[in-house]
Every structure is written in C-alpha cells, then in structure tokens.
Amino acid sequence: MKKLSIKDLMSIEAYTEQRPAIRQAMMEHKKTRRLPLGPNAMLHFEDYMVMRYQVLELIRVEKINGEEELLEELEAYNPLIPDGKNLKVTFMLEFPDEAERKVRLGELIGIEESISIQIEDFDPVYPIANEDLTRSTDEKTSAVHFLRFEFTDEMIAAAKRSASWTIRSEHPNYQYSNDSLAEETRNSLVRDFA
C-alpha cells in the first residue's frame, strides 16, 4: 500500500477549505474500518486514507508547514499504513467509568498479545504489539495498543476470495470473538492486501 509523502498533503488553507467534505468522507470510510470485539474493545484498522486524514488534522491544529516538521510527522505515521502483507490496528479498550477502567486494565495485562485474526481454516495470526514502546506495566495494561498482523500469501489469497474471518480475544479475563464481519468491512480490509 502506498505510503504518505509531502506531495500527498495540502496547505493548511486548502485543507481548511476542503475539511468539511474530507471529514465527512473519512467518517464514512472509518465505519468500514472499525470492528467491535466484545463490549469493551474496538479494533480500528489503519490505512493510507486514515493516516493522511490524521496528518492533515495535525497540520491544521499544530499549524505545521515546514518541510522538516512535515517529514517528521510522515516518519511517525507511515509505519501505521499496511504494506500489502499485513494489517495495522489501533486496539482500544473502552471502559467509560474511571473506577471500572482502573480495575479492568489491571486485569487485562497482556491482552494485546492474545488478539488473533483467523482467515478461513488457516492458523490464527497473533500480532506484533507496540513496536514503538511498551504500553503495559506489571500493574496494568494501556487502554490503547498498536498491533501489526502479518499474513502468508495463502491467507491473503483466501481473503481475496471472500474467505471467512474470525477475530478473537483469548485473554483469560476477556474472551470474545467476532466472526460476522460485514461485507463492506471485509472488502475494505482486503484492499490493504494490494
């Protein structure tokens, strides 16, 4: 999948003018890139469009316009774009009540390594988690994790043939699975294997 370059961006003024339309298109796109896993977890599948939007928003808010600063942001965001053999996911644990969140994050240490994606009857694929920095301690896990799932050519070929998908959490304190991906979600994720 294509990575972001400076030529893919636009000036703050041009973006501000086009922002309402871009934002609406992005909200629709993101609907096909989110997948709930149980009542308190959400997988946000990242791609070129999502990262471009996030960089444009950052440029607008932070008023970034120097080439060096832009290149730094691209260096930070480009690793979150799939490369054709993988899926990149922001995994979020969502507990609205602060007291419950504190307790539950203490019970879910290691959850980021117990998430799997299984295509058809192939072996489940477990992620490489938090490559940028450690997000868990001995006391609790983070509410946000960055995951990279690597797939074989055979798995990708099956996914492109509309194979079934199952996404699971096998953590002892959070065991859920989702095998009912909407067709539009499955199609959106398969495009990451281009």
pLDDT tens digits along 130-149 = 887 778 888 999 999 999 99
Structural domain contains residue 184: yes
Q: How many other CB atoms are found less than 10 A from the CB of residue 40?
A: 19
1 assigned to some structural domain: no
Mean of pLDDT over the chain: 94
In this structure, is residue 49 part of a structural domain? yes
What is the phi/psi pair of residue 90, to 5°?
Answer: -95, 115
In a domain, 24, yes or no: yes
Q: How far is the C-alpha of 17 from the C-alpha of 30, rounded, in Å?
A: 21
For residue 134, what pLDDT is reported?
77
Q: Smallest Cα–Cα separation from 185: which of 112, 92, 87, 111? A: 87
CA dist., res. 126 & res. 115, Å (int):
6
Structural domain contains residue 151? yes
Over the stretch 38-79, which tens digit does the pLDDT of each residue have? 999 999 999 999 999 999 999 999 998 888 999 999 999 999
- Residue 61's CB is within 10 A of a number of other CB atoms, namely 9
Which residue range forms the structural domain that includes residue 97?
6-193
Q: Is residue 160 part of a domain?
A: yes
User: For 63, left (φ over 0), alpha (ψ -120 to 50), or beta?
Assistant: left
Average pLDDT over residues 161-168: 96
Residue 130: which of 151, 145, 110 has the closest Cα? 145
The structural domain count of the chain equals: 1
Closest CA to 132 of 140, 124, 144, 116: 144
Residue 38, phi-psi category: left (phi > 0), alpha (psi -120 to 50), beta (remainder): left
**166: in domain:** yes
Q: Residue 28: inside a domain, yes or no?
A: yes
Helix (H, G, I), strand (E, B) or coil at 106: helix
**Global confidence as pTM:** 0.92
Q: How crowded is the C-beta side of 21, counted as CA atoms within 13 Å?
A: 4
